[in-house]
Structure 1
Amino acid sequence: MNGDVVGAAGAFVAGPDWVRHAVWWHVYPLGFTGAEPRLAADAPVAHRLGHLTAWLDHLLELGASGLALGPVFASETHGYDTTDHYRVDPRLGDDGDFDALVAAASARGVRVLLDGVFNHVGRGHAAFRAVLEQGPSAPTASWFRLRPDAAWTDAAWTPGTEPDYDDFEGHRHLVALDHSCPAVVDHVADVMIHWLDRGVAGWRLDAAYAVPKEFWAQVTERVRARHPHAYLMGEVIHGDYTAFVTEGGLDSVTQYELWKAVWSSLNDRNFHELAHALRRHDGFLEHFVPYTFLGNHDVTRIASRLTDPAHLAHALVVLATTGGTPAVYAGDEHGFRGVKEDRAGGDDEVRPPFPASPAELSPVGLPVFHLHQELLGLRRRHAWLHRARTEVLDVSNEFLAYASAEEGERVVVAMSTAGGPVEVRVPGAGDVLAGRARLDAPGTPGARVRLEPGGWVVLAG
C-alpha cells in the first residue's frame, strides 16, 4: 500500500511498500539491443526484446530486483520522439515480445518500470500529423502549444502550411504538448493505465521538470485510482524536488544533486561538497525517498567521469549506504566507459549494444561486478537504508565519515582520497561490514578508524 497522503503539507510520501526493497537495473533498450538509429518506413518488426530476457538472471546476480527500461514505444529515432504511445517500437518487437519480457521478469520476481515521454511527441505522432494535414480545424490542434499567425486561421490556411510551435529545449522535432488541455490529461492518464494493466510496476516520467506540477497531479490521481501500488518517479534535474513530489502526486524524483556531488567531490578531493549534498539529501528524506544513481543513459558513465578509477568504489559505497531507491545503469556494474558529448550522435558511447549474454562480457570488468554484488548485497540485507537519514560525523577535504540510521539500525561509512593513511572519527562504530580499516575503541564514542591511502570502509553502527 502507499504511505502518507500524497501532497499533504508536511506529510512523508512513502510510496508503495515494495519499493523499500527495490534496486533498479536501468537499460536503454534501443541501444542495448543494437537497434537501428532511425525507424525506416514500413520496416518489418525486429523481435529484439528477447535479448533483454537473456539478461534477467544477470540482473538478479547483480543484486537488483527491478528492470527500469528506457523508451520502448514507437518513435522516429532515439525513443524520446514518440509517435505512438500504445505501440511497441518495431525495432524492438511487438506486443507479444513485450508481454513475454514482462512475464519472464515477473516469473523471477523482477518488476518492470517504463519510461513515459509526456512533455512532447515526435512530429510523426498521429495527433501532430492531424494538425499538419488538417490545419487549425484539426481536432488535436489544442494538444499543442501552437503560435498562430495570419496564415494559421481557418480562412487563410492552405495545405502544406505549418504552424509555429513550442518545442523541447530547441529540438524542433520534439513538439511540446499543451498540458493545460484536458484531452492531453486524458491521453497521458490512459497511456499510463494501459501499460500498468499490461503488468508493469510503474513509470519514469521523462522531463518531468518541464511539465506543470498541476498536470502531474491530475494524471497521477487518475492513475492511482486504478493502480494504487504503482511507482511514479519523475525526471527532475533542477528545481524544487520536494514540490514536484508533493504537489505533483509523485512518489519520487531523480537525485541529480547527489549524483553530481559524488563524482565532483571525488575528482576535486573536496569532501565538503559531498557533506553538503548529504545534508541536502537528508532534508529531502523528510518528505520522500529520492531515486538515486551514479549513471544513466543521459550522462557520461561514472567510470569515465571519475579522474581516479579507484574512486569508483567510493561512489558505489555512497549509493549503497544512503537513503534512496538506488539504480545501476547497465554496464556500470562492469566498469563500462563512455563519454556523452553535446553533438549529433553524442549519446552513442553511453548507449552501446550489449552481447547476447553476460557470458560474452570481458572478464576485465569482473572485479567491479563483484564489488557491486558485495555492496548491493549489503544494501538488500539492510532494507531500512531505503529511508535512512544521514549524519556527517567527520569531514575534511580528503576524508569523510557519515552515519546512516533508521528504525533503530545504523551503519557508519568512512572514506579517504588522501595519498597516505588517515585516522577518522567514527563514534559508536563497530564491526567491519565491507571494505578494510583498522578500528580502535569500537562501539564507543571515541571510536576511530585508520584508513589506508584511498581506503574506505562500512561499519556496523
Structure 2
Amino acid sequence: MTPTWLADAIFYQIFPDRFAMSARIDTPRHLEQWDAPPTQNGFKGGDLFGAIERLDYLQALGVNAIYLNPIFQSAANHRYHTHDYFQVDPLLGGNAAFAELREACHARGMRVILDGVFNHASRGFFQFNHVLENGAASPYVDWFHFKDFPIDAYSKDAPNYEAWWNLAPLPKFNHANPRVREFLFRVAEHWMREGADGWRLDVPAEIDDDEFWREFRRRVKKINPEAYIVGEIWHRADRWLKGDMFDAVMHYPFTRACISFFTDADEPTRELTRGHSYGDIAPMDAPAFARALEETLAWYPPEINFAQMNLLDSHDTARFLTLARGDASALTLAWLLMFTFIGAPTIYYGDEIGMLGARDPDNRRGMEWDEKKWNVGLKDQVIKYCVLRKKYSALRRGEFKTLSAQGKVFAFARHLQNETIIVALNASRETAAMDIPVSRLLEDATRVKAEWSNEEHIVRAGHLWRVPLAAREGKVFVSVTAMQ
C-alpha cells in the first residue's frame, strides 16, 4: 500500500544551501555572494533555520510537503558527497536544526522527505578514508570495490575503485557486504525515528539488488507504515513499483511530455535537455500529448499513479521557464495540467516567482527574496492552483479521461462520484473554439461553471459546444452538482 496522504500532497523542493539563510549560524564563513551566479563548488550559506523562517511563505503558497535535497555532513554544496550519515551538516545548523524544522513542519501539517544517497559515499566518509590511510590492511577494505593499492583518489585519472559515473569523489558502496547493508538500513531507520516522513532515493537503479530495496522498505515501513519511498528513476519503473520496493518515482516521463507540448521544444530547448535521462525532446501536438499521458498511466496500478511525484524541473534539470525561454504562459499551462493531473504536484524552489536557470549549477541560484523582483503573477497562479486542487476531491482521487485532443488544444476530465472537473488547455498561439464531448460523464442539460470567471455552459447533445479559449489559455469547468 502507498501512503494515504500522497493523493493530497503538494510538494515543494528545497535545495538547502540556496533557499534561505538565517542569522542563527554565526560561524565565520567564506561564502559566495547570495545573488551572484552560482559556481560548481561555491557555498551560499542557506540553512535549515532559514527554511523554518520561511514556512509561513510556503504555507501561504499552499504546499503541504517539503522534499529536501541532502542535508547530511558533506564537503559539497549539494551534499550528495556524504561524510557522515548521522549528522546534519553544521553549515545547515546540525541535528538541532533538522529537529526544529521537523517539529515546525509537523505542527503545520506539513511533511518532510529526506534525500537518501545510498549508492555511494565520499572520499571524506570515515570508512573510505580509513582505507585511504591504511590500504589493504584496513578492516573496511570490503566496504567498497577497490581494484588495487595504493588508492588513487585525487589524481585526474580514473580512480582505481568503482565510483558513480567513474567520479573519484563518489566511491560506490559494496552492497553485497552485509555490514554495508546493515549500516545503510540503520541510517534509514535512524532518520525515520527522528521524524522524517520518507525518503527520496538518489540513483537507486545503480543498486542492482532488489532484495536490498525490499529490506529497505521493510525497515522503513515497520517504523512508519505511512512513510513515502520515492525513487529517482527517469524512465518506466515497473521493476521497483510492484508494492515491495518503492511507493512511486519522480515522474520524469511526465516532465518530458510537458516540455514537448507546452514549450516550443526547438533546438535551443533541446540543447538544454540533452544528456538527461528523460530522453530526446521533440514538439508534440495534443493527440501525441494525450497518448503520452495515457501511456504513463497505463504503466502502473492506480494507487501508484496517485502517489507519483509529478514535476516540471528539479536540481538536475534546467528550469522549465528557461526551457520555455521566459514564456510564462508555458509554465502556467503546464502547472495547470500538473495540478489537475493524477499524482502529487511538485514545485522546485523559486519557480513560483519566475526564477530562471539553465544547466547545473545555474539552476541552483540563491532564492530571490526581494519581492520587487518577483513575478507576482506566477506566484498568484500557484496559490490559485493549490486552492483548486484542495477544493475538489476529484482532482486528487478521481479517474482521468481524455475528452478531446486536436492540434494544440487538449481537454480532459477528472471524475469522482458526483464531482466532474473538465480542464481545457490551448497550447497554441491562436484563439480556439473547442467542442468537448462529455456524454460519458454528464447528462444533457447539465450546467458547468468556470472557476475564476462567470462563464457557464450547458451540455447539449452530449457536448459542451464552442468553448472559447484565448491563445495560451487554460480553463477549468466544474459541474454544478460538484459545486454543490
Q: Is the 8 A contact 2:48 2:97 kept in 1?
A: yes
Partner of 1:24: 11
Q: Which of the numbers 181, 196, 216 marks the counterpart of 2:213?
A: 216
Q: Percent identity?
A: 27
Report 1:386-405 matches (<5 A). Answer: 386-405=396-415
| 1:295 equivalent in alignment to 2:305 | no
Partner of 2:47: 48
Report 1:47-446 matches (<5 A). Answer: 48-77=47-76, 78-148=78-148, 151=149, 164-212=160-208, 213-238=210-235, 240-246=236-242, 249-266=245-262, 267=264, 268=283, 270-287=285-302, 288=304, 289-307=307-325, 308-340=327-359, 347-354=360-367, 360-362=370-372, 364-407=374-417, 409-428=419-438, 430-434=447-451, 440-442=457-459, 445-446=462-463
CA distance in 2: counterparts of 1:177 and 1:261, whole angstroms:
34
- TM-score by length of structure 1 reads 0.85
Q: Which amino acid aligns with 1:349?
A: D
* Alpha carbons of structure 1 residues 178 and 55: separation in structure 2 relative to 1, 3 Å: same
CA distance in 1: counterparts of 2:435 and 2:139, whole angstroms:
66
Q: Is the 8 A contact 2:20 2:46 kept in 1?
A: no
Compute the displacement of 1:408 (Å): 5.3
**Unaligned 5+ runs, structure 1:** 4-14, 341-346
For residues 25-59 of structure 1, what are the alpha-carbon distances to aligned partners after superposition, in whole Å with 9 as ceiling and x for unaligned?
Answer: 1100012246667999xx9xx89321111110111
Q: Is the 8 A contact 2:115 2:199 kept in 1?
A: yes
Q: Is the 8 A contact 1:321 1:379 kept in 2?
A: yes
CA distance in 2: counterparts of 1:248 and 1:339, whole angstroms:
37
Partner of 2:270: none
Q: Is the 8 A contact 1:39 1:76 kept in 2?
A: no
Mean CA deviation greater in 194-203 or 378-387: 378-387
* Alpha carbons of structure 1 residues 441 and 193: separation in structure 2 relative to 1, 3 Å: same
| 1:452 equivalent in alignment to 2:439 | no
Q: Is the 8 A contact 1:282 1:389 kept in 2?
A: no
CA distance in 2: counterparts of 1:53 and 1:145, whole angstroms:
40
CA distance in 2: counterparts of 1:265 and 1:39, whole angstroms:
35
Q: Is the 8 A contact 2:333 2:427 kept in 1?
A: no
Mean CA deviation greater in 184-193 or 68-77: 184-193
Compute the displacement of 1:419 (Å): 3.1
SS of 1:120's equivalent in the other structure is coil
Compute the displacement of 1:215 (Å): 1.7
* Alpha carbons of structure 1 residues 247 and 105: separation in structure 2 relative to 1, 3 Å: closer
Q: Is the 8 A contact 1:278 1:390 kept in 2?
A: no
* Alpha carbons of structure 1 residues 137 and 173: separation in structure 2 relative to 1, 3 Å: same
CA distance in 2: counterparts of 1:139 and 1:426, whole angstroms:
68
CA distance in 2: counterparts of 1:63 and 1:405, whole angstroms:
23
For residues 331-363 of structure 1, what are the alpha-carbon distances to aligned partners after superposition, in whole Å with 9 as ceiling and x for unaligned?
Answer: 1111111111xxxxxx232212236xx5x3236
* Alpha carbons of structure 1 residues 385 and 281: separation in structure 2 relative to 1, 3 Å: farther
* Alpha carbons of structure 1 residues 271 and 178: separation in structure 2 relative to 1, 3 Å: farther
* Alpha carbons of structure 1 residues 442 and 118: separation in structure 2 relative to 1, 3 Å: same
Compute the displacement of 1:262 (Å): 0.5
**Unaligned 5+ runs, structure 2:** 22-30, 33-38, 265-282, 480-484
SS of 2:423's equivalent in the other structure is strand
CA distance in 2: counterparts of 1:439 and 1:61, whole angstroms:
30
CA distance in 1: counterparts of 2:6 and 2:460, whole angstroms:
32
CA distance in 2: counterparts of 1:318 and 1:409, whole angstroms:
18
For residues 292-351 of structure 1, what are the alpha-carbon distances to aligned partners after superposition, in whole Å with 9 as ceiling and x for unaligned?
Answer: 0112111111111114331211100111011101111111111111111xxxxxx23221
Partner of 2:28: none
* Alpha carbons of structure 1 residues 440 and 107: separation in structure 2 relative to 1, 3 Å: closer
CA distance in 2: counterparts of 1:188 and 1:248, whole angstroms:
18
Partner of 2:273: none
* Alpha carbons of structure 1 residues 138 and 444: separation in structure 2 relative to 1, 3 Å: farther
CA distance in 2: counterparts of 1:236 and 1:319, whole angstroms:
19
In angstroms, what is the RMSD of aligned CA positions? 2.9
Compute the displacement of 1:229 (Å): 1.8
Q: Which amino acid aligns with 1:367?
A: G
Q: Is the 8 A contact 2:159 2:166 kept in 1?
A: no
Q: Which amino acid aligns with 1:210?
A: E
Q: Is the 8 A contact 2:214 2:245 kept in 1?
A: yes
- TM-score by length of structure 2 reads 0.81
SS of 1:165's equivalent in the other structure is coil
CA distance in 2: counterparts of 1:39 and 1:339, whole angstroms:
17
Compute the displacement of 1:178 (Å): 2.1
CA distance in 1: counterparts of 2:228 and 2:374, whole angstroms:
35
Q: Is the 8 A contact 2:451 2:478 kept in 1?
A: no
Mean CA deviation greater in 426-435 or 260-269: 426-435
CA distance in 2: counterparts of 1:331 and 1:47, whole angstroms:
14
Q: Which amino acid aligns with 2:73?
A: A
SS of 1:460's equivalent in the other structure is strand
CA distance in 2: counterparts of 1:372 and 1:19, whole angstroms:
19
Compute the displacement of 1:242 (Å): 2.5
* Alpha carbons of structure 1 residues 70 and 223: separation in structure 2 relative to 1, 3 Å: same
CA distance in 1: counterparts of 2:454 and 2:255, whole angstroms:
26
Compute the displacement of 1:93 (Å): 1.4
